[in-house]
């Protein structure tokens, strides 16, 4: 099988472009999809994003997290540089941890209409506690809806050891 060519690379505006602009406010429009070349098959794509940072909506102090995004694409996959810029756009955005992961998932559902998706944020501690919200989604009326319920029911039964160091 040949690799991606001009056609399957599509109209990417960001990858390999040196005039990248880093946005100073929450910007879901920066996200760009590309064609999924394997839509005849269910498979997972996971993004590990250890460089996420946002602000506390009440105190303005910075929050830090690793975000894990995992999905089964349908017709589209997300271009990774656009995802990077999108996550960057939370840098000066104020929101609770629980809200951030729900917002990220909602934006990716809107962009990709995926079969299945989940987003897990693991934040650094504030006041001795850390918060790790997790949400997921399966396309309503399909088997992926049951998949989402199944994965939620079995979520995180082995919490990682956390000692704040």
Is residue 109 a contact residue for a copy of itself (CB under 8 A)? no
Q: Which run of H or of E encompasses 71?
A: strand 62-72
Is residue 165 a contact residue for Ca ion (CB under 5 A)? yes
Is residue 43 a contact residue for a copy of itself (CB under 8 A)? yes
Is residue 25 a contact residue for a copy of itself (CB under 8 A)? no
88 binds, among a copy of itself, Ca ion, none (CB under 5 to 8 A by kind): a copy of itself
19 annotated binding-site participant: no
The 3-state DSSP class for residue 136 equals strand
Instruction: Give dist(CA 149, CA 146) in Å, integer.
Output: 5
Q: Which run of H or of E encompasses 122?
A: strand 116-123
Is residue 160 a contact residue for Ca ion (CB under 5 A)? no
Chosen residue from 33, 88, 112, 117 binding a copy of itself by CB under 8 A:
88
Distance in Å, CB of 76 to a copy of itself, minimum: 11
Is residue 161 a contact residue for a copy of itself (CB under 8 A)? yes
CB 122 within 8 A of CB 66: yes
122 binds, among a copy of itself, Ca ion, none (CB under 5 to 8 A by kind): a copy of itself
56 is catalytic: yes
Instruction: Report CA torsion sign: 124, 125, 130, 133.
Output: negative
CB 118 within 8 A of CB 135: yes
63 is catalytic: yes
CB 68 within 8 A of CB 74: no
Chosen residue from 33, 132, 142, 145 binding a copy of itself by CB under 8 A:
132
Instruction: Give dist(CA 72, CA 63) in Å, integer.
Output: 29
Residues 64-103 touching Ca ion, rule: CB under 5 A, are none
The residues annotated as belonging to the active site are 56, 63
Residues forming contacts to Ca ion in the complex (CB under 5 A) are: 163-165
């Amino acid at each position: 099988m040949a690799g991606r060519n001009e056609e399957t690379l599509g109209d990417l505006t960001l990858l390999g472009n040196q005039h990248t602009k880093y946005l100073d406010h929450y910007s879901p429009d920066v996200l760009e999809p590309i064609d999924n070349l394997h839509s005849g098959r269910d498979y997972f794509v996971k993004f590990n994003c250890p460089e996420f940072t946002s602000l506390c909506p009440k105190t303005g102090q910075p929050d830090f997290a690793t975000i894990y995004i995992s999905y089964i694409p349908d017709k589209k996959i997300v271009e990774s540089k656009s995802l990077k810029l999108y996550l960057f756009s939370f840098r000066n955005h104020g929101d609770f941890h629980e809200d951030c992961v729900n917002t990220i998932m909602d934006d990716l559902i809107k962009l990709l209409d995926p079969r299945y998706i989940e987003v897990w944020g693991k934040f650094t501690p504030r006041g001795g506690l850390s918060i790790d919200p997790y949400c997921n989604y399966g396309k309503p009326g399909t088997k992926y809806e049951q998949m989402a319920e199944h994965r939620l029911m079995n979520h995180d039964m082995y919490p990682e050891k956390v000692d704040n160091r």
